[in-house]
Amino acid sequence: MLTHQRKYIHDVLVKFKMLNCNATETPTEVNLKLDRAENEDAVDNTLYRQMVGFLRFVCHTRPEISYSVGLVSRFMNDPRKPHLVAAKRILRYLKGTNRFGVLFTNQTSNCSLQLVAYSDSDWSGDMLERKSTLGYVFMLYGFLISWCSKRQEVHVKHYG
């Protein structure tokens, strides 16, 4: 069974007037580093928050956008034009990949029990707080069972 949100993504594209936009092959630009962009034009807070909220919901069946959505989520208090452009790029990616989803199957009887994990970190990629973003994926029998993308905590040791 393929779990997807094709109709929901279509409705979101309609809501944000992006149904006729050009699709893109990746949810974010390579090596994109967003900062506060205080010198850039501000954008509508409500519109931006709605867009990010919809994107966060889509992450439930589209784990590959988790990093990108987490990145644009950091600027919900004071969104600027570059943040909106990055969020719209995720929508453009979803337009071109609206048939993607998470596959669930009961075809495990012919498969050997195999747990596979992948992880990556961007090593202090956050331009504001110098925190790293960590991501991981766990697969069992070749099927996605867990994923995460989050900024790592910074622990300060005090000697005394």
Per-residue pLDDT of 20-68, as tens digits, reads 999 999 999 988 889 899 999 999 999 999 999 999 999 988 988 988 9
pLDDT number for residue 152: 78
| Whole-structure pTM value | 0.75
Tell me the average pLDDT across 131-140.
Answer: 84
**Best CA proximity match to 99, nearest among 20, 9, 1:** 9
Structural domain spans, the chain: 2-101
pLDDT number for residue 135: 85
**Best CA proximity match to 67, nearest among 117, 106, 32:** 32
Which phi and psi (to 5°) does residue 92 adopt? -65, -35
Q: In this predicted structure, which of 60-69, 79-88, 130-139 has the lowest mean pLDDT?
A: 130-139
